[in-house]
Structure formats: C-alpha cells, structure tokens
Amino acid sequence: MSVTEAPDRLSGSMNQNTHLSSADRVYAALRADILSGRSAPGDVLSRAALAQKHGVSQTPVREALLRLEREGMVDVRAQSRTCVAPISVLAVHQAMFVRRALECEVVKKLAAAPKQRNMASIEDALDSDDQGFHGALFEAVGMGEVFDGLTPILVPLERYRALVGSDGTKTDAEHRDILARVFSRDQGGAVLAMQAHLASEIEALKALQVSKPKWFLVDGSSSD
C-alpha cells in the first residue's frame, strides 16, 4: 500500500463508521417514538423529513426504516409511503405464549435449588424495570442468551406494553411474590405467581383494543 493510498482507505473506514452510527442513532430514535406512541400506527414516516430532523442523509434513514420493517414496526411500501405498522394481536398472543412457557420453567428451576449467589442478583434487579427483573431470572439459571434471543419475538408485546404503561407498585409486589416463592422452594407457587403476573397483561390488551381499535391488526387471534 502506498503512502497516498493510506489516507483514502482510512477516510473510507471513518466515513463507514460515521454512517453506521448515524443509522443506529436514527433507528434508536424512531424505535423510541414508536414504542412511546409519539409515532402512532398509521402515521406516515417521511424519509426526507426524518433526514432533516436528524441531520443526516436519507441513506441512514432508509436503513433504519428497513431494520424497523424487519421487526414489524413499520410498513415500507416501495414507490409509495412508509407508515408505522399496527400491532398484531396474534403476534402479541404468540409472544405471551412463549414467555409463559419459558418463564414458568425458569422459576420452577430456580425454586428447585435456589442458590444464594443467583438470588442476590435477582434481588438487585427488583429495583430495575420489568424486563430487567425477568432478564435476571434467565441469567440466574444460565439462560441469559435465551432471553436475549427472545427480543425479536417480543417486539409486538413490547410495543403493546409501552402503550398500556404499568402500575409500578403492583408490578413490584408481583415480582417480590415470585421471588419469595422461589426462596421458599415452592415450585408450584412460583409457577402460579408467574402465570398470574403475565395473565394480567392479556386483560389489559383486551381493554386497549376497545379504546384504540385502529392501533391493532386483528388477525384471527383468540383470547385466553
């Protein structure tokens, strides 16, 4: 490599890193807007307007939108318009099914042989959000990567939960109840407490469908 080639290649690498960080930044901002409801289902997402808002070219905006499309959060229509996608009720139920199956097994395994070291990490997570607590449960049984792998499946549930909001006091009480049953080696009780904790979300989903029908795609899912 000649001396004259080095700066060009280095410059190209720096431009690529800057480009990637711009796409990630736009993606994170758009995702946060959708989750919070600031960008509601049906809202049009103009690439030109987004590029101007975030101070970038349309290329990172396009990449961010394609990434969100893969997660089911936006509908990208070629030569037309890009909109925030509605929340699939079926996808929410599927996500809940997966969570219920896995997390009941997790607390059952924890209650069978609770280890003080692992329990301490879960207690520390009581002060975090709901996702942090559940992630700590998976970590405690050596299944942290499984929890991370659930992220794509749980996106519809994450969107719905962001709209519903949460009763922090109630959620904290439910978390402590689950943990108390694990500590006492009550496998059956820990499973029942987890089931009750997750079931309340489905009831809230039914109410939200009534109040915001246009936000949801009803596609043949059935209630529990």
What is the Cα–Cα distance from 49 to 38, expressed in whole angstroms?
Answer: 16
Domains of the chain as residue ranges with CATH: 5-85 (1.10.10.10), 88-217 (1.20.120.530)
Q: What is the pLDDT at residue 111? A: 94
The torsion angles phi and psi of 139, rounded to 5 degrees, stand at -60, -40
The better pLDDT of the pair 175, 2 is held by: 175
Segment 202-222 shows an average pLDDT of 76
39-43, 173-177, 211-215: which range is least confident on average?
211-215
Residue 175 has pLDDT above 60, yes or no: yes
pTM of the model: 0.73
CA 139 to chain centroid, in Å, comes to 17
Residue 219 has pLDDT above 80, yes or no: no
Segment 59-78 shows an average pLDDT of 91
Q: Which segments of 20-139 are extended strands (E)? A: 74-76, 82-84, 87-88
Residue 115 has pLDDT above 90, yes or no: no
